[in-house]
């Protein structure tokens, strides 16, 4: 058995990777105005225009360092951080530069995350002209006191204003992100935020339960007893209320936290949940290429130093064994309402899910956590309440 088969970390040699095309491109823009208290994405809050200009230069150099991989994006996602914080000319230069370095001929979705407090018509028009066709706005809540608990620096009215501007710039594919189970939030207050988001009539909504990521200010406050997290039973009520409400208006859940009108699902995120390959640019961004995954150096200065030295900034490189890959794929696909399809799974992994997960399938269906039919299996409503625990059962398939 080789080191690669054992899944032992090693250095990244692009020649070890299959030559198949890579359909996803993620671009991490690590700048924010201010650090929201629940956020553990890598970003810095003090940046100058010079640093952002230099950042784009280096981003384009990083794109060149990955050119030997056959990145032919069907989907692109600019996340962060706050991508829309890049000055207009720098954003335009970044998009054009990527277009010159990768083959965009198969592109069928290009999303940019945008901050509702700063969106302008001119900026949206530039994005649309540059080929962006989907915007995602971080609304999180329409209640000012909940926004302040999260340390979000925008006003609830910024969200409808941004959606309107996006429409004027000819965007139709829009997403609004919301967070529930915020300390102090009750079901009525969550319903009001959800209703305000529904009223915007965007084809896609993401609704996440608040998580207390280690070392974030909100997790520290919780540890110190400075805030009271929502009861688990309330959080589940909010989850099921959201699913019912959005299903009734034709935006059913297609993933645990994501809701869309048919055809408006986020294709880029589906690519993650379906175990496809993607390359990510920028500090701390994670890539996965045909079973090998890595992370980019997690700090801006280290990432800049790697690129300046002409080195790919990859660390924590790991190649999964076929069984590990199968386990991870099952775990990811359980997040989807469609669940895992036996035939597609076997084509993709070479493994028969009915065999390698025989124990799990029997046990979890006896517990009514999953439902199984001839096509595949998926979470039940009961399983949804403990989705992470159910998914983790699939991490250890049998040989
Ligand atoms: S939640 Fe978004 S805007 Fe807030 S700090 Fe994190 S990346 Fe920045």
pLDDT at 362: 97
- What's the mean per-residue pLDDT of the chain? 95
pLDDT at 8: 44
Superfamily of domain 15-273 in CATH is Aldolase class I (3.20.20.70)
Which ligand 1 atom sits closest to the C-alpha of 40?
A: 6
Average pLDDT, stretch 306-310? 96
How far apart CA 281 and CA 70 sit, in angstroms, is: 15
pLDDT at 17: 84
Considering the chain, what percentage of its residues have pLDDT values greater than 70? 97
> What beta strand segments (E) does 21-108 contain?
22-29, 71-80
pLDDT at 46: 84
Compute the distance from residue 315 Cα to the ligand 1 centre, in Å: 24
pLDDT at 15: 82
pLDDT at 287: 97
How far apart CA 160 and CA 200 sit, in angstroms, is: 7
Report pLDDT digits (tens) over 134-147: 999 999 999 999 99
pLDDT at 12: 83
Average pLDDT, stretch 336-354? 97
How far apart CA 303 and CA 297 sit, in angstroms, is: 5
pLDDT at 2: 42
Which ligand 1 atom sits closest to the C-alpha of 81?
A: 7
Residue 3 above 50 pLDDT? no
Pocket test for ligand 1, best of 37, 43, 114, 147 (most atoms within 8 A of CB): 43
Report pLDDT digits (tens) over 111-123: 999 999 889 999 9
pLDDT classification of 5: cutoffs 50, 70, 90:
very low
pLDDT classification of 41: cutoffs 50, 70, 90:
very high
pLDDT at 7: 45
pTM of the model: 0.95
pLDDT at 1: 40
Place of tokens 């010159």: 100
Burial class (CB in 10 A: 0-12, 13-18, 19+), 242: buried
Q: What phi and psi, each to the nearest 5 degrees, are found at residue 255?
A: -150, 165
pLDDT classification of 13: cutoffs 50, 70, 90:
confident
List all residues whose CB is within 6 A of at least one atom of ligand 1.
32, 35-36, 39, 41, 43, 80-82, 138
Residue 4 above 60 pLDDT? no
Which ligand 1 atom sits closest to the C-alpha of 115?
A: 3
What are the distances in angstroms from CA 310 to CA 64, 279, 293, 390?
10, 18, 20, 43
Compute the distance from residue 290 Cα to the ligand 1 centre, in Å: 30
pLDDT classification of 14: cutoffs 50, 70, 90:
confident
Average pLDDT, stretch 249-266? 98
Q: Report the length, in residues, of the chain.
A: 399
Residue 265 above 80 pLDDT? yes
Q: What phi and psi, each to the nearest 5 degrees, are found at residue 8?
A: -85, 135
pLDDT at 11: 67
Compute the distance from residue 43 Cα to the ligand 1 centre, in Å: 8
pLDDT at 399: 77
Nearest to 203 by CA among 144, 282, 136, 110: 136
Locate the domains of the chain by residue range. 15-273, 323-395
Fold of the 323-395 domain? Arc Repressor Mutant, subunit A (1.10.10)
Residue 378 above 60 pLDDT? yes
Compute the distance from residue 269 Cα to the ligand 1 centre, in Å: 18
Residue 380 above 60 pLDDT? yes
Q: Are 174 and 204 in contact (CB under 8 A)?
A: yes
Report pLDDT digits (tens) over 146-193: 999 999 989 999 999 999 999 999 999 999 999 999 999 999 999 999
Strand order in the sheet with 278-281: 253-255, 258-260, 204-209, 173-180, 134-140, 109-114, 71-80, 22-29, 278-281, 286-289, 292-296, 314-319
């Amino acid at each position: 058995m080789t080191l690669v088969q054992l899944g032992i970390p090693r250095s990244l040699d692009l020649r070890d990777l299959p030559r198949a095309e890579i359909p996803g491109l993620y671009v991490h823009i690590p700048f924010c105005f201010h650090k929201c208290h629940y956020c553990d994405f890598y970003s810095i809050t003090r940046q100058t225009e010079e640093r952002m200009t230099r950042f784009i230069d280096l981003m384009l150099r990083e794109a060149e360092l990955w050119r030997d991989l056959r990145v032919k994006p069907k989907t692109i996602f600019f996340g962060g951080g706050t991508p829309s914080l890049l000055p207009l000319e720098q954003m335009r230069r970044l998009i054009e530069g990527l277009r010159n370095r990768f083959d965009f001929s198969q592109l069928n979705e290009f999303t940019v995350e945008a901050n509702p407090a700063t969106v302008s018509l001119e900026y949206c028009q530039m994005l649309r002209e540059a080929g962006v066709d989907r915007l995602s706005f971080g609304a999180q809540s329409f209640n000012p006191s909940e926004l302040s608990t999260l340390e979000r620096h925008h006003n609830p009215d910024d969200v409808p204003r941004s959606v309107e501007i996006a429409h004027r710039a000819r965007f139709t594919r829009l997403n609004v992100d919301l967070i529930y189970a915020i300390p102090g939030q009750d079901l009525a207050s969550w319903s009001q935020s959800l209703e305000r988001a529904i009223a915007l009539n965007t084809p896609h909504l993401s609704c996440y339960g608040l998580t207390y990521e280690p070392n974030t200010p909100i997790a520290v406050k919780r540890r110190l007893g400075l805030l009271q997290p929502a009861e688990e039973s309330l959080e589940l009520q909010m989850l099921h209320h959201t699913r019912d409400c959005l299903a009734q208006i034709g935006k059913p859940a297609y993933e645990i936290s994501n809701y869309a009108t048919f055809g408006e699902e986020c294709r880029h995120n589906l690519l993650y949940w379906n175990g496809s390959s993607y390359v990510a640019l920028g500090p701390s961004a994670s890539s996965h290429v045909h079973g090998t995954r890595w992370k980019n150096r997690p700090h801006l200065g280290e990432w800049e130093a790697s690129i300046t030295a002409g080195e790919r900034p990859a660390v924590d490189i790991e190649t999964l064994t076929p069984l590990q890959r199968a386990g991870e794929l099952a775990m990811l696909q359980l997040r989807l309402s469609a669940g895992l399809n036996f035939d597609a799974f076997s084509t993709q992994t070479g493994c028969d899910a009915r065999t390698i997960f025989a124990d799990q399938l029997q046990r979890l269906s006896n517990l009514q956590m999953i439902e199984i039919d001839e096509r595949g299996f998926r979470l039940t409503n009961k399983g949804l309440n403990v989705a992470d625990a159910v998914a983790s059962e699939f991490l250890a398939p049998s040989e």
